[in-house]
């Protein structure tokens, strides 16, 4: 599966309020750090982004981690898997 198909499916599942899992490499571009590979077992996409992220919005995806109901982001190019299916270039 490619990243665009994964995002399309994420949007469809979110529209139906069906949680999904993602795996990605974390990255904090402000600090220039990473916490390595992250797995989120239950999440949904969210809409809207704050102004501080507007310059990065084309490469960031906003989601809600349903484990603790926190709002988070991941970078599209760093997505590794969606519902345990590997993302291919």
Taking only the tens place, the pLDDT of each residue in 42-66 is: 999 998 654 444 455 568 999 999 9
Task: Tell me the residue range of the domain where 19 lies.
Answer: 3-86
Integer Cα distance of 73 and 48 in angstroms? 12
Percent of the chain exceeding pLDDT 90 equals 78
What is the Cα–Cα distance from 88 to 75, expressed in whole angstroms? Answer: 15
In the chain, how many domains are there?
A: 1
User: What's the pTM?
Assistant: 0.86
């Amino acid at each position: 599966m490619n990243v665009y198909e994964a995002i399309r499916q994420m949007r469809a599942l979110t529209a139906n309020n069906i949680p999904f899992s993602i795996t990605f490499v974390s990255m904090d571009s402000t600090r220039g750090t990473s916490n390595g590979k992250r797995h989120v077992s239950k999440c949904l996409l969210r809409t809207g982004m704050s102004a501080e992220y507007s310059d990065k919005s084309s490469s960031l995806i906003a989601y809600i981690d349903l484990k603790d109901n926190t709002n988070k982001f991941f970078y599209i190019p760093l997505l590794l898997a969606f519902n345990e299916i590997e993302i291919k270039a």
